[in-house]
Amino acid sequence: MNFNSAREIIDLSNSEGKKIYELMIARETELQGATEAEIRKNMARSLEIMKKAVEDSITKDIKSISGLIGGDAKKIYKNESIKGGTICGAMMKKAIAYSMGVLEVNASMGKIVAAPTAGSSGIIPGTLIALQEEYDLSEAVIINALITSSAIGLIVSKNATVAGAEGGCQAETGTAAAMAAGAIVEMMGGTVEQSFHAAATSLKNILGLVCDPIAGLVEAPCEKRNAIGASNALISAEMALCGVESIIPFDEVVDAMYKIGRSLPFELKETALGGLADTETGRRIKKEIHNN
């Protein structure tokens, strides 16, 4: 069992009557010789790390090593200045806080799961953990969702890139949002086709986004892009679950993302020489951080 595209996953799912996570488990057991129990155990360990990062970010005082970010996840989670504590709804508020929190933990040298990268590590835990709490979902359901998300990440890795240095931020936070969106659809009872409509929609929404980290640190604008990535995933999943389809299939969106990434100048691919990193404020912050 192996697959290299969303189309192949959809065809396999139709012929074998399996969900994405079941196909991914079959692939891993065959190619890596791991048992299903081992795969689930490893994913449970990843989920544990994700949950610890989320928990730390909303309960502890976290500051990044540079001092550039920290404390914003807690600010959102505990917000009382807005009437009712949120304008986006309780679940979205959690997804925003949690996804930003994981980035804060990463920037303070804490432990996170790169899913698919450190810079985009907040989107999957932020959305899945918020949904688990909102809908009282079991650990097994979230572990299945993580396995589904890994299959979507695999397709992008095989056909394009998940690295900001190669494809810009669209490749990092765009892929993470696609992974989360497809997994959310499956865990909420959607079809395999709907999962890939959601994944396509979230990646399309972020095409062209450059990688321009201030002072070359995976902190800003990365943290806020994870919050927007989480909302992108949730909105795309909601659309797909309601029957809204992506006109361009996921595999073609991935191809487009890769072409765009390759056409970006090097200043906009993690070199911190362009975009927000090259603004007056960005350059001043870089100087201050490096002088210290």
Q: Which is nearer to ligand SF4, 25 or 50 (CB)?
A: 50
- Minimum CB distance to ligand SF4, residue 210 (Å): 7
- Contacts made by residues 199-202, CB under 8 angstroms, sequence distance 24+: 199/6, 199/152, 199/236, 199/250, 200/246, 200/248, 200/249, 200/250, 200/253, 201/236, 201/239, 201/240, 201/244, 201/246, 202/174, 202/177, 202/178, 202/229, 202/232, 202/233, 202/236
Q: Which is nearer to ligand SF4, 173 or 205 (CB)?
A: 173
Tally Cβ neighbours within 10 Å of residue 286.
18
Q: Which is nearer to ligand SF4, 20 or 113 (CB)?
A: 113
How far lies 291's CA from each of 240, 275, 276, 277, in Å? Answer: 49, 22, 20, 16
Kindly report the backbone phi and psi dihedral angles of residue 211, in degrees, each rounded to the nearest multiple of 5, phi listed first: -105, 110
- Minimum CB distance to ligand SF4, residue 257 (Å): 13
Measured distance between the N- and C-terminal CA atoms of the chain, rounded to whole angstroms: 53
Q: Which is nearer to ligand SF4, 58 or 211 (CB)?
A: 211
Which residues would be at the binding site for ligand SF4 (CB under 6 A)? 119-120, 164, 169, 172-173, 211-213, 218, 221-222, 225, 270
Q: Which is nearer to ligand SF4, 174 or 182 (CB)?
A: 174
- Minimum CB distance to ligand SF4, residue 164 (Å): 3
CB 86 within 8 A of CB 52: no
b/e burial code for range 76-94 (CB count within 10 A of at least 16 → b): bbeeeeeeeebeeeebbbb
Q: Which is nearer to ligand SF4, 190 or 261 (CB)?
A: 261
186 vs 131: CA distance, rounded Å: 13
What value does the CA radius of gyration of the chain take, rounded to a whole number of Å?
Answer: 18
- Minimum CB distance to ligand SF4, residue 214 (Å): 9
- Minimum CB distance to ligand SF4, residue 223 (Å): 8
- Minimum CB distance to ligand SF4, residue 207 (Å): 14
Q: Which is nearer to ligand SF4, 148 or 170 (CB)?
A: 170
Kindly report the backbone phi and psi dihedral angles of residue 269, in degrees, each rounded to the nearest multiple of 5, phi listed first: -130, 70
- Minimum CB distance to ligand SF4, residue 155 (Å): 19
